[in-house]
Chain A
């Protein structure tokens, strides 16, 4: 069963979470019950495919073993080689599941959500390396963090230390009431976004484009803007469901969107679009790369270091979305935009060429919007489809 894919799913979740809500409103602890709910919900989500369920179990055992072994090792020493190997091994299942279909017909290794779950495992390895996670992680909490069902299929990507704080927080009935209210609110926002606005754009506009557009060019142009809006409402709607259900379970999963279409520039856009993913890449790829380059002093020029960091980040992000040509190009496109914007920002700081006022703010939003939409147009793969 696809998470948030049908009314049946929502009804089952509502029934499963009824005891959670009663416990929460009475100010009682409910995380043990929620862990059981997660097992039930996972059973429901993966019931249609035994292969996927098995892959999920193997993946989880692999990540937990790796994390346990690395914590154990890290208590005694802190070698670079072991750290890099641990990161490599934590990404390995994802890499194999993406690459294998190109080499053979076996496709049992992948499962719904593997891309998102990998982030959680790798992130824990990095925080152990940094000495922020020191103690042995209790198995139940670690499993609950990795397998937390509301966010299992497509995030938002949470962080272990944040998640654990929520687990330990003492909440009164009144606190929970507010959280419950916010959660339900988000779920209904999700209905509006995904099943009313997103659905309408797709069903009434994109599906009928052949009758609406008068030329090939018009077709592609309309598709570009319609798809961008659809992608936002569909994914923001899904995220609202995931965050809303998390709230009801007492976990404040991080936000994924913050009005991305009013971004003033491309840097601003990445602070507003798919936040939990772009922040992950910022903290665990870009900043680590820049830190390492600055300390080693291999390249003196700060702008080159920063630009190389962006190129690395967006190339990895492209590959992470998939190995299809449109995703790789999408990564390259955003890397290019970031590098160009970086140069522009530096130039402007010196020469004050682009003044900062209400008019230029609006102009900047409009310009950025078109660049963003073109990026989604690449992402959609429509460029590479023949005979539309």
Chain B
């Protein structure tokens, strides 16, 4: 649970919007909160903060779309 909150806090930082915390099932891409630049920041931070390495090509916008999904997918890779 703690890890999940950390990921969501990171996403809120990157998107510069707390709506990520209030509604962790929001689609980050269709809502315009996250773009390609933000995605790269997320991948760099995941490596620096959590030591989880995700290749850019593995990140697809269909499965890595909401804060909850991203947190779960990252948790799987710890």
Contact = CB atoms under 8 A, between A and B. Distances in A.
8 A-B pairs with least C-beta separation: A130-B55, A290-B40, A130-B57, A291-B40, A294-B44, A306-B37, A287-B56, A127-B57
A294 B41 contact: yes
A259 interface: no
A369 interface: no
A287 B55 contact: no
Interface string B36-64: 11011101100000000001111000000
B37 A290 contact: yes
A336 to B, nearest CB: 18
A365 interface: no
A164 to B, nearest CB: 14
A287 B43 CA distance: 10
A132 B44 contact: no
Given A131-B55, A132-B55, A132-B58, A287 B36 contact: yes
B35 interface: yes
Main secondary structure of the interface of A (DSSP, over half): helix
A286 interface: yes
A136 interface: no
Contacts of A309: 37
Interface string A277-311: 00000111011101100110000001000100100
Nearest to B56: A287
Interface residues of B, number: 13
Interface residues of A, number: 20
Contacts of A267: 35
A282 B61 CA distance: 12
A284 B57 CA distance: 8
Contacts of A288: 56
A294 B42 CA distance: 11
A282 B57 CA distance: 11
A262 interface: no
A126 interface: yes
A283 B56 contact: yes
A282 B40 contact: no
B47 to A, nearest CB: 8
17 contacts: A127-B57, A130-B55, A130-B56, A130-B57, A131-B55, A132-B57, A282-B36, A283-B56, A284-B57, A287-B39, A290-B37, A291-B44, A291-B56, A294-B40, A294-B41, A302-B37, A306-B37
B7 to A, nearest CB: 18
Contacts of B40: 287, 290-291, 294
Contacts of B43: 291
Nearest to B44: A294
Contacts of A283: 56-57
B44 A295 contact: yes
